[in-house]
């Protein structure tokens, strides 16, 4: 059985009647050149060295957010499952350590349909892992990945993820509720468009009174380069220019409003705050 420590990458956080906890799905293993294809070593290495992540390949963490609110047990994203990378797919063990069975989950809310966020939604038999849950996804994200022509137009490097997304969307179709930017999909949970990483990427503002937390997904995908130089393009973003614009706007808002955040690929469980640092920003773990 997984240890209790394996369940959480960070401390629990209360927002009104919402209990928030991050669960580790493991980590990815990605070449620096994939994440930062436009930057020279002279540009990149000082930032990575300052943050102690200069190794190549890089190993970004995977933080799935668990929210408990009354009789609701909500997951924001579903992890990678067993078929993506060997270092990932640990969400089932983390759920067990947190005292949650897949049958307990009432809602699964997707930020977007990349493999490390979506592929964990099916079990080893290709049945929905969270069989009792209602699943939510943004209409624009759904339209893009559910379109059969996407696999032929997205580019060879992304064709496998397009095929994987479509297959899972087809299996889940009857369990999925679609929503649009600005909608309150659950009490205190509002969708916030952060397009660019994918065509319909959504973040989620969790609010109770004057308290709030932003579940970022991959709108801000790392705690180093994208904080110090949010204008730099990131290779994992499908529309890098749009993603950079969304990132700069979001960081400015989060720092100004002192909103707490949960980032899918941010360190120490992803819970923290954004602060200004010179012309850029820094991530402060809680």
Residues 222-266: tens digit of each pLDDT: 999 999 999 999 999 999 999 999 999 999 999 999 999 999 999
Task: Flag whether pLDDT at 4 surpasses 60.
Answer: no
Task: Flag whether pLDDT at 69 surpasses 60.
Answer: yes
Q: How far is CA 163 from CA 55, 117, 167, 250, in A?
A: 31, 15, 6, 30
Mean pLDDT for 161-189 is: 96
Mean pLDDT for 135-159 is: 96
Mean pLDDT for 179-207 is: 98
Q: What's the pLDDT band for 70 if we cut at 50, 70, 90?
A: very high
CB atoms within 10 A of CB 276: 12
Sketch out the chain's domains with CATH numbers.
4-202 (3.60.15.10)
pLDDT score for 12: 83
Residue 200 CB contacts under 8 Å (≥ 6 apart), including other chains: 112, 137, 138, 139, 140, 141, 142, 143, 144, 193
pLDDT score for 6: 46
Mean pLDDT for 30-34 is: 96
**In terms of DSSP bridges, do strands 107-109 and 72-76 run parallel, antiparallel, or are they unpaired?**
parallel
The runs of H, that is alpha helices, within 31-184 are 32-35, 41-50, 91-97, 115-118, 139-146, 150-153, 159-172
pLDDT score for 239: 97
pLDDT digit string (tens) for 34-46?
Answer: 999 999 999 999 9
Beta bridge partners of 69: 72
Contact call for residues 227 and 251 (beta carbons, < 8 A): yes
Listed range (7-11, 211-215, 252-256, 271-275) with the worst mean pLDDT: 7-11
Mean pLDDT of the residues in the chain: 95
Mean pLDDT for 191-218 is: 97
Q: Give the CA angle between residues 180, 185, 187 to the nearest 5°.
A: 150
Q: How far is CA 166 from CA 43, 150, 152, 205, in A?
A: 37, 9, 12, 27
Mean pLDDT for 54-78 is: 97
Half-sphere exposure of 161 (CA within 13 A, CB side): 19
Pick the residue with more confidence: 1 or 181? Answer: 181
Mean pLDDT for 7-19 is: 78
Task: Flag whether pLDDT at 7 surpasses 70.
Answer: no
CA distance 188 to 37: 38
CA distance 14 to 232: 34
DSSP 8-state secondary structure symbol assigned to residue 237: -
DSSP 8-state secondary structure symbol assigned to residue 120: G
User: At 61, phi and psi to the nearest 5?
Assistant: -70, 165
pLDDT digit string (tens) for 122-131?
Answer: 998 999 999 9
CA dihedral 134, 190, 116, 35 (to 10 degrees): 170
């Amino acid at each position: 059985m997984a240890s209790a420590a394996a369940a959480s990458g960070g401390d629990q956080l209360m927002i009104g009647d919402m209990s928030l906890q991050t669960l580790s799905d493991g980590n990815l293993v990605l070449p620096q050149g994939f994440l930062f294809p436009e930057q020279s070593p002279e540009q990149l290495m000082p930032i990575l060295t300052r943050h102690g992540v200069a190794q190549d390949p890089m190993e970004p963490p995977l933080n799935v957010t668990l929210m408990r609110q009354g009789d609701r047990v909500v997951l924001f994203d579903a992890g990678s499952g067993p078929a993506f990378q060997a270092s990932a797919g640990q969400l089932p063990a983390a759920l067990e350590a947190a005292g949650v069975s897949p049958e307990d989950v009432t809602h699964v809310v997707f930020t977007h349909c990349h493999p490390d966020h979506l592929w964990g939604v099916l079990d080893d038999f290709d049945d929905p892992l969270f069989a009792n849950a209602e699943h939510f996804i943004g209409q624009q994200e759904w339209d893009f990945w559910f379109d059969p022509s996407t696999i032929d137009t997205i580019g060879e490097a992304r064709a496998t993820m397009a095929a994987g997304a479509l297959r899972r969307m087809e299996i889940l179709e009857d369990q999925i509720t679609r929503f649009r930017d600005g909608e309150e999909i659950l009490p205190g949970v509002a969708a916030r468009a952060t397009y660019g990483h994918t065509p319909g990427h959504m973040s989620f503002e969790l609010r109770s009174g004057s308290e709030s937390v932003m579940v970022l997904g991959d709108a801000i995908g790392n705690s180093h380069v994208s904080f110090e130089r949010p204008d730099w393009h990131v290779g994992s973003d499908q529309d890098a220019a749009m993603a950079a614009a969304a990132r700069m706007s979001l960081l400015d808002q989060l720092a100004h409003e002192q909103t707490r955040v949960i980032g899918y690929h941010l360190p120490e469980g992803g819970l923290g705050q954004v602060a200004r640092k010179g012309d850029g920003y820094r991530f402060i773990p809680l």
